[in-house]
Amino acid sequence: MGLSNYISVDCVIFGFDFEKLNVLLVDRTLTDNETGDVLFTDHTLTGNHIYEDETIENAAHRVLFELTGLQNVYLEQFKIFAHPDRLKKPNDRQWLLHDGRNPDVRIVSVGFFALLSVRDVTLEWKGRTVKWVPYHEIGELAFDHNEILEGAIEALRNKTKHEPIGFELLPEKFTLSQLQKVYEIILDTEFDKRNFRKKVARMKYLIPLDEKQTGVAHKPARLYMFSREVYEKTRKDFFDFWV
């Protein structure tokens, strides 16, 4: 099974740690073959070429599995990146050449974003170091990966406003304060606690459990679950573009 050497996927993997939104980045360090000097070092998103007989969704799930060991992760295609010059910055050309690839071949990359609650992650991938970096601390990335990241954030924001995907960034059981925090971080805003809860109380698909937080140095909060089943059954389509 060969590789399709002109299509790739790039995954923006978001992980929420109850405080910040993080993104999984991979170190990219190019060293001179002879002297061993470090020529440059920076970061990339996580991506892969796809196999010839593979769907792009599969390729994206594969990346995700290799990195996190997780299979059932929220993953969504959001945009294609295909600018003719997207791989043509000097460092990027050098890196591709070093890797035995032709930097003049136009590569179309399909952007995906994934959502998960931060957990332990395989800390190596193809011999490169992988780490969580807070979204706001991400500097200049390799290739067009800053553009892909911004596209992912925008897609995440838009989707979050209209569909219940915030839950994907939390563990199965979570508190209302954690849920509120997710939305505040993604939408870059703050909500009134009482009003947020009043709104939330109307959502039939947010199931209160008979369980509480443990081990916290304050009144323990009740735990909730999201039920996609109830959501699908009770959701109404409606019309809200105005405002």
Binding site for DNA (CB under 7 A): 175-177, 192-195, 197-199, 202, 212, 214-222
How far is Cα 186 from Cα 149, in angstroms, rounded to an integer?
A: 14
CA dihedral 48, 49, 53, 56 (to 10 degrees): 60
Tokens of 79: 């945009």
The listed partner (DNA, its own copies, none) that binds 33, CB under 5 to 8 Å by sort, is none
Of the candidate residues 3, 6, 19, 212, the single one contacting its own copies (CB under 8 A): 6
Does the footprint of its own copies cover residue 194 (CB under 8 A)? Answer: no
Element (H, E) at 225: strand 222-226
Does the footprint of its own copies cover residue 199 (CB under 8 A)? Answer: yes
Residues 172-191 that bind its own copies (CB under 8 A): 183, 187, 189
Using CB under 8 A as the binding criterion, the count of chain residues that bind its own copies stands at 40
Does the footprint of its own copies cover residue 232 (CB under 8 A)? Answer: no
How far is Cα 135 from Cα 17, in angstroms, rounded to an integer?
A: 12
CA dihedral 131, 137, 141, 146 (to 10 degrees): 120
Does the footprint of its own copies cover residue 114 (CB under 8 A)? Answer: no
**Complex with its own copies: residue 12 or 130, whichever CB lies closer:** 12
How far is Cα 192 from Cα 179, in angstroms, rounded to an integer?
A: 13
The listed partner (its own copies, DNA, none) that binds 7, CB under 5 to 8 Å by sort, is its own copies
The listed partner (its own copies, DNA, none) that binds 35, CB under 5 to 8 Å by sort, is none
DSSP 220: P
Does the footprint of its own copies cover residue 162 (CB under 8 A)? Answer: yes
Tokens of 88: 């043509």
Does the footprint of its own copies cover residue 230 (CB under 8 A)? Answer: no
Cα atoms in the Cβ-side hemisphere of radius 13 Å centred on 71: 0
Give the nearest distance from C-beta 130 to its own copies in angstroms: 26
Distances (CA, A) of 132 to 86, 92, 119, 148, 223: 24, 22, 10, 17, 26
Give the nearest distance from C-beta 23 to its own copies in angstroms: 22
**Complex with its own copies: residue 96 or 107, whichever CB lies closer:** 107
CA dihedral 57, 58, 62, 68 (to 10 degrees): 50
- Catalog residues that contact its own copies under the rule CB under 8 A: 4, 6-7, 52-56, 77, 79-80, 82-84, 106, 108, 110, 158, 160-164, 183, 187, 189, 199-200, 202-203, 234-243
